[in-house]
Amino acid sequence: MERPRCDVVVVGGGVIGLASAWRAAREGLAVVLVDPEPGRGASWAAAGMLAPVTEVHYGEEALLALNLASARSWPGFAAEVEEESGLPVSYRRTGTLLVAADEGDRAWAAELHRFQAGLGLEVEWLTGREARALEPALAPGVRAGLWAPGDHQVHNRELVGALLAAGRAREVVHLPLRVSSVETSGGAVSGVGLGDGTTIDCGAVVLAAGCRSGELAGVPAGVLPPVRPVKGQILRLRGPADRPLLSRTVRGVVQGQSVYLVPRADGSLVIGATVEEAGFDLTVTAGAVYGLLRDAQRVVPGVSELVLEESLAGLRPGSPDNGPLVGPSGLPGLVLATGHYRNGILLTPLTAEAVAATLAGREVPGELAGFGPDRFPVLAC
């Protein structure tokens, strides 16, 4: 019997694989996306913040430039996904307010503001009173705020559904299976082996398996991406849709700990998240739920009135320098799209564009040039 064949197999259907598959299909390629549970990995757990300014970290200036470029792509990307899928993704341009709970946190926020201002980022220092004027539900004790009008949000779960539909509209075939191996012939990708024992022949494979990207059989050890799981526990609460507690994302610094509260249009509120090196553990702990609620309540006391609907853990695909690995790899035909760590939702548009460009034989967008898979030296054993 003849083996099934396509141009591209995408391994993994989180936001990165789904968007890459859709964009590749728009290039005219025949695409098969393989994932037993598309959209149920980190992309489901995430908060959906598109926040390059309030997420900026010392020493990550190159990543900041990439994040800012992807943030600029978001309005057009959201409109295209909605148009091709016929489904909403609730991209909201409501800005982000970072607040300091006590004097120590205020000093920390002032330092962050100096760093952000030095980078030319759009961010304004607010007194506690000015912050409360923007968000009246803030605690009376809040000391100061940083207002970042350009840090937006998207409903990541709606995004997953819309990307699946947009892919279907472009004839992306979804197989609800696991990819068990990448097959090679003459030193290049020739197909994939599937969990049910069958195979698909193809000329290219896009490895977008999130935190599992570093363990696919058949990929040479020096080519497998150095990606690891970084656990994040996160909560979803519900309040009345007609009287939302907050109208924009609030990030709190509480005795040096970070917490964020992301309000959705339907009255729900996402509160996150822990950052833990705990392997592939997806358990939810009492201590994490307690800590998140305690810190959230410290900056927005009304949180205690809301209904706790969900607590879950997700695994971010972390990389050694916190930047993604996107583009052609050392195995001809294998394209990497992984390692997006805490910015995968934000980086979806630019990543998908880069994957489609690579598959079509074009250069990746300039902002991603420094994030090629070959930037990590292979350690000799």
Q: How far is the CB of 21 from ligand FAD (least distance, A)?
A: 11
Strand, coil or helix: 153 = strand
Closest to ligand FAD by CB, 239 vs 272, is: 272
Largest CA distance in the chain: 73
d(CA 26, CA 20): 10
For ligand FAD, give the closer residue by CB, 141 or 195. 195
Give 222-226's long-range contacts (Cβ < 8 A, gap of 24+).
222/330, 222/378, 223/329, 223/330, 223/331, 223/334, 223/373, 225/319, 225/325, 225/329, 225/336, 225/338, 225/339, 225/373, 226/319, 226/320, 226/339, 226/376
Q: Which is nearer to ligand FAD, 47 or 300 (CB)?
A: 47
Scanning the structure block, which residue is given the tokens 């209904």?
Answer: 307
* Cβ neighbours of 161 (radius 10 Å): 17
Q: Which is nearer to ligand FAD, 144 or 295 (CB)?
A: 295
Cβ-in-10-Å burial (0-12, 13-18, 19+) of 120 comes to: exposed
CB of 121 within 8 A of CB of 83?
no
C-beta of 177: minimal distance to ligand FAD in Å? Answer: 7
Q: Please report how close the Cβ of residue 305 comes to ligand FAD at its closest, in angstroms.
A: 23
- Residue closer to ligand FAD (CB basis): 121 or 234: 234
The C-alpha R_g of the chain, in whole angstroms, comes to 21
- Shortest Cβ distance from residue 270 to ligand FAD (Å)? 8
Task: Choose between 103 and 277: whose C-beta lies nearer to ligand FAD.
Answer: 277
298-to-1, 74, 255, 285 alpha-carbon distances in Å: 65, 32, 10, 20
- Taking residue 92's Cβ as centre, other Cβ atoms within 10 Å add up to 20
CB of 61 to ligand FAD, least distance (A): 18
CB of 192 to ligand FAD, least distance (A): 9
Read off the tokens for 159: 């995004």
Q: Read out DSSP for 17-53?
A: HHHHHHHHHHTT--EEEE-SSTT-SHHHH---EE-TT
Cβ 359 vs Cβ 335: under 8 Å: yes
Of the two residues 331 and 345, which places its CB atom closer to ligand FAD in the complex? Answer: 345
Q: How far is the CB of 261 from ligand FAD (least distance, A)?
A: 12
Task: Kindly tell me which of 144 and 261 has the beta carbon lying closer to ligand FAD.
Answer: 261
Task: In angstroms, give the least distance from the CB of 250 to ligand FAD.
Answer: 13
Contact residues: ligand FAD, CB under 6 A? 11-17, 34-38, 40-43, 45-49, 178-179, 208-210, 212, 232, 234, 272-273, 314, 316-317, 338, 340-346
